């Protein structure tokens, strides 16, 4: 048995190291990333629908979004530990199936309680995606993983753009419940594809022993973490209110779907653009530029007419997502080499947790002072990142990265 196990392990490592195995890993991981990120953000297009059907306030709508994000954030670290003992491919496939089942349950629910349970279950399934799929791509490509990881991250933004837009079109022809059932079937098909086509994923501890660590532990990770938490809160808080701002400007439901797609397409471009920008002008200048641009664009959305808003939204998406791209690439620079994986897990959990909690805060604020003033608050929080970025600067590598 031991000989057979060793032989199978050697075959798995050879498959992972081969160019075809690496490409398959990237393709399947990218598909999973697109589906799960699309699942996460299609909630925004459904918020006005649920508000009308269940007579919900902004605080309760934010809670619906938070249920998904909180269950996803809370389980990421445990999922990473589980993947050290079991084949991550199977865990990812099961998690993807669970996400689809959660949306099927939400579509079958007859009331608010069932909807909440379905969203929490779907979020729990999505907790498997980030830690397992990103690690799989990194291990498949080794030292040459930076480019493939960029493709993997970009695929998530494609899902954010495609699935909400698809949902808005489906809502023209069918009820939101039937639309969720159809999306659940897509999740089931993706789970089968993961189990069938993704190469086996080695346990984290063994793969970590073979992987070359980078980073010198310059300190400053708490500051980076705080910036990431605030930046995510700004993004999620603003997106929670964006459909209602657009409706107040006279946008129809399909137009809202198109507008969200424009934001997410801009966000995908921002990951490439701001990564390139950070390498040339430095992390500090890039963060100041993206956060300042985010604040200005958010305020402009409140006062511009609808056609001008639609033109502005891709640029706003670049700014909203650009900071996160720069921050993610800075984690290894500020972390001791033997704690890079732990730092990434903590950073993911903190930012996603912020995405769960901050919409509740902004939602309650919106109930108290109105949606427009709550959106103004997100712009002010974006500007509050400036002093944190300046404090982080001494911990960064001198000069452009």
Q: Which pLDDT belongs to residue 112? A: 86
User: Are residue 267 and residue 397 in the same domain, yes or no?
Assistant: yes
User: Are residue 138 and residue 255 in the same domain, yes or no?
Assistant: no
Q: Which pLDDT belongs to residue 7? A: 44
User: Are residue 146 and residue 280 in the same domain, yes or no?
Assistant: no
User: Are residue 150 and residue 232 in the same domain, yes or no?
Assistant: no
User: Are residue 176 and residue 221 in the same domain, yes or no?
Assistant: no
User: Are residue 235 and residue 326 in the same domain, yes or no?
Assistant: yes
The reply to whether 234 falls in a domain is: yes
Q: Which pLDDT belongs to residue 329? A: 65
Could you tell me if 126 and 135 are in contact, meaning their C-beta atoms sit under 8 angstroms apart? no
Segments forming the whole domain that contains residue 336: 214-401
Write out the two tokens for 253: 């439901």
CATH code, 112: 1.20.1250.20
User: Are residue 185 and residue 87 in the same domain, yes or no?
Assistant: yes
The reply to whether 370 falls in a domain is: yes
Query: How many Cβ atoms are within 10 Å of 314's Cβ, its own excluded?
Result: 18
Could you tell me if 64 and 115 are in contact, meaning their C-beta atoms sit under 8 angstroms apart? yes
User: Are residue 236 and residue 319 in the same domain, yes or no?
Assistant: yes
User: Are residue 181 and residue 323 in the same domain, yes or no?
Assistant: no
Per run of 10 residues, the mean pLDDT along the chain (length 401 residues) is 45 56 90 93 88 84 84 82 80 95 90 90 91 77 64 81 88 91 95 92 50 53 92 91 89 85 84 71 87 94 92 92 76 63 72 82 88 92 94 73 42
The reply to whether 258 falls in a domain is: yes
User: Are residue 224 and residue 316 in the same domain, yes or no?
Assistant: yes
Provide the number of structural domains found in the chain.
Answer: 2
Q: Which pLDDT belongs to residue 264? A: 79
The DSSP letter of residue 304 is S
The reply to whether 3 falls in a domain is: no
Q: Kindly state the percentage of the chain with pLDDT values over 70.
A: 83
Q: Which pLDDT belongs to residue 284? A: 86
Could you tell me if 362 and 59 are in contact, meaning their C-beta atoms sit under 8 angstroms apart? no
The residue out of 212, 239, 271 marking a domain boundary is 212
At 235-289, the pLDDT tens digits run 989 988 998 899 889 888 888 888 888 887 888 788 777 766 776 787 788 899 9
HSE, CB side, 13 Å, CA atoms: give it for residue 295. Answer: 16
Q: Which pLDDT belongs to residue 344? A: 67
């Amino acid at each position: 048995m031991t000989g057979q196990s060793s032989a199978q392990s050697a075959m798995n490592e050879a498959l992972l190291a081969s160019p075809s195995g690496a490409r398959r890993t990237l393709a399947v991981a990218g598909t999973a990333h697109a589906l799960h990120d699309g699942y996460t953000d299609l909630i925004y297009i459904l918020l006005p629908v649920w508000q009308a059907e269940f007579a919900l306030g902004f605080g309760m709508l934010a809670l619906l979004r938070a249920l998904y994000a909180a269950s996803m954030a809370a389980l990421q670290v445990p999922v990473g530990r589980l993947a050290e003992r079991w084949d991550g491919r199977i865990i990812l496939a099961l998690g993807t199936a669970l996400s689809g089942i959660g949306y099927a349950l939400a579509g079958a629910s007859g009331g608010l309680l069932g909807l909440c349970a379905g969203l929490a279950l779907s979020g729990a399934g999505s907790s498997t995606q980030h830690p397992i799929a990103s690690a799989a791509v990194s291990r498949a490509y080794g030292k040459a993983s930076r480019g493939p990881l960029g493709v993997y991250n970009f695929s998530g933004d494609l899902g954010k753009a495609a699935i909400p837009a698809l949902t808005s079109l489906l809502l023209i022809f069918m009820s939101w419940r039937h639309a969720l059932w159809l999306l659940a079937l897509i999740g089931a098909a993706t789970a089968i594809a993961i189990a069938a086509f993704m190469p086996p994923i080695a346990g984290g501890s063994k793969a970590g022993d073979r992987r070359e660590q980078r980073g010198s532990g310059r300190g400053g990770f708490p500051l980076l973490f705080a910036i990431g938490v605030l930046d995510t809160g700004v993004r999620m808080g603003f997106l929670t209110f964006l459909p209602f701002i657009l409706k107040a400007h006279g946008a129809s439901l399909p137009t809202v779907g198109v507008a969200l797609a424009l934001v997410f397409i801009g966000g995908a471009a921002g990951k490439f653009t701001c990564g390139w920008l950070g390498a040339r002008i430095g992390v500090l200048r890039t963060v100041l530029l993206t956060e300042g641009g985010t604040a200005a664009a958010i305020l402009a959305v409140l006062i511009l007419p609808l056609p001008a808003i639609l033109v502005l939204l891709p640029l706003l998406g670049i700014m909203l997502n650009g900071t996160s791209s720069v921050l993610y690439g800075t984690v290894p620079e500020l972390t001791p080499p033997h704690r890079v994986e732990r730092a990434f897990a903590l950073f993911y959990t903190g930012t996603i947790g912020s995405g769960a909690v901050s919409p509740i805060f902004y939602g309650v604020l919106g109930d108290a002072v109105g949606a427009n003033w709550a959106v103004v608050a997100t712009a002010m929080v974006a500007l509050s990142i400036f002093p944190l970025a300046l404090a982080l600067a001494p911990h960064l590598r001198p000069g452009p990265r």
